[in-house]
Structure formats: C-alpha cells, structure tokens
Amino acid sequence: MLRATAKLLTVLNSETEPGQISLALAFSLIAGLTPFWSLHNLLVLLIVLLLRVNLSAFLLGTAFFSGVAYLLDPSFHRLGLAVLMAPSLEGLWTSLYNSTLWRIERFNNSIVMGSLLASLVLFVPTVLGFNWAIRKYRDRVLAKVKKLRVVQALTATRFFQMYRSYSNWGTGS
C-alpha cells in the first residue's frame, strides 16, 4: 500500500502530461470495474499499449478499480439485468448470442453487461475529472510543497541528487 502510494505520487509529480495520466486512469476504470479476463479488456490493453498513456497509472488504477468493483457488483448486476431483460433489446441480444465472438465476450452475464455499461458511461467524465484534479494538484499542492524550506533543503543535498540519478536509470531520462 505504501509502495503504491509512493508510485502514485511519483507519477503525479513527474513531468508526464496530465492528459496521459487521466487517460490511463480512465482506461483502468474499464479494466478494473469489469471482469479482467474479458475480450473487451484485451482491446483496452491493446489501446493502452498503442496510445501514449502512462502505464504506471494504468496498472495502479486497474488495481484500485478492481477493489472498487467488488463493492459495486450488486449495482452492476441490477443494471446489467435491467438491460438484458429489456423487451425492446431482446432481438439484439438473441442475434449477438448466436455469434461466437459475442458469446466469448460473455455479454449475457449481468455483471459483465452492467459493469461494462457503467465504465463506458463514466469514461469521459473520468478523463475530464482526473485531468482537472491533476492540474489543480500540480498548481496548488505541489507548488506549495516545493516551496517548503525542508523540501528545498532535502532536494539540495548530495544524497538526494545521487538518489535521483539512480532512480532515473531505468527510465532513460
């Protein structure tokens, strides 16, 4: 938990664009809220690897939202059941169920359907909300922390400079 918090702070305090972090967190919302071994999560993973998003934020967000998903499963079940039982969509579900690809997706599972719908609806608000929150954090909190005398004294030490150079070895910067 402490290590995950440190990684989150490292990502938030890095030079990474807020859009890359918020997009990674929005994709992790889909991967975390829905059952992990699903066909749509393979597509999400492919998109994450192709786009320029922060992988650390994606992995941390997936772990976080997977925990949240256990709390929301009853709500996802009710939402998915309502959508799957809608009489107007019965023909659509029947035709999709006759296709092998959609059967692999397990869309007929009420939790898969409900969690996928909820995560898709929340995708854009998640990107915008995290983007706003990260910018506010960097403008207000991080700027104040950097101005503290204790922080300035610690970052000016030789030990901190050595730590920073060693911690950047694997990142290429």
What's the mean pLDDT when you consider all of the chain? 87
Condensed to tens digits (0 to 9), the pLDDT of residues 151-172 reads 778 777 887 777 777 766 655 4
Tell me, what's the pLDDT at 173? 45
Tell me, what's the pLDDT at 49? 93
| Dihedral over Cα of 57, 10, 164, 143: its sign | positive
pLDDT at 7 over 70: yes
Tell me, what's the pLDDT at 157? 81
Q: How far apart are the first and last CA of the chain?
A: 27
Condensed to tens digits (0 to 9), the pLDDT of residues 88-111 reads 999 999 998 888 888 888 888 999
Q: What is the mean pLDDT of residues 62-73?
A: 93
pLDDT at 85 over 90: yes
